[in-house]
Amino acid sequence: MRALLVVDIQNDFCPGGNLAVPGGDAIIARVNELIEHFGHVLLTQDWHPAGHHSFASTHAGKAPFETTELAYGPQILWPDHCVQGTHGAAFHPDLHIDKAQLIIRKGFRKEIDSYSAFFENDHETPTGLAGYLRERGIDTLYLTGLATDFCVKYSALDGRAQGFTVFVVEDAVRGIDTQGSLAQAWEEMREAGVAVVSSEEVMQIA
């Protein structure tokens, strides 16, 4: 059984947002088409408390996109984004969310960031997604959303590590691309056995 996983298509990750992915809103129409082709649709939502430890503003003298050490290892420091209950944390208004059967909120623990739909950034604290998928009999995931080189990548890698078949829909994702991170992400995903497909290919089989 297949499911579509739509990663973090939220206002702050789209043009005009606090951590905008270039062209982030350009994929929404294609994602909406894909949603109509799947019986199982899952969403992730970045959901940070104010003063989250991954925010540069929480660390004196640090600027966005610098790196610091947190308890679980290196952490890129971000502009404040997707703060709980704010406009920036809401799903983009053009995204069709009514078919979603599950919304995984991540990053809500103040002391730890969360890129993956499966685990927090300590790679140990689970979100519960793997168990949900197994109980529903879902063994194959198609990933879309933002950003390719962070939350999409980590979700794809963790999905493979958990034993799922994982596809990334190439024309339904967009990346940030800091210091070559986008090319590296595609390479890491391919090496892990993540398949790359087009939305047209998906809609022919879903």
CA angle 116, 18, 74 (to 5 degrees): 45
What DSSP state is assigned to residue 20?
A: P
Residue 106 a catalytic site member: yes
In the numeric block, the tokens 């606090």 are attached to 18
46, 80, 151, 153: which is the annotated catalytic residue? 151
Give the separation between CA 118 and CA 162, rounded to whole angstroms.
Answer: 9
**Using N-to-C axis directions, what is the helix angle for 153-161 and 181-191, rounded to 10°?**
20
Residue 167 near residue 173, CB atoms below 8 Å: no
Residue 82 a catalytic site member: no
Residue 8 a catalytic site member: yes
106, 149, 153, 158: which is the annotated catalytic residue? 106
CA angle 34, 123, 113 (to 5 degrees): 75
Residue 2 near residue 40, CB atoms below 8 Å: yes
Catalogue the active-site residues.
Answer: 8, 106, 151
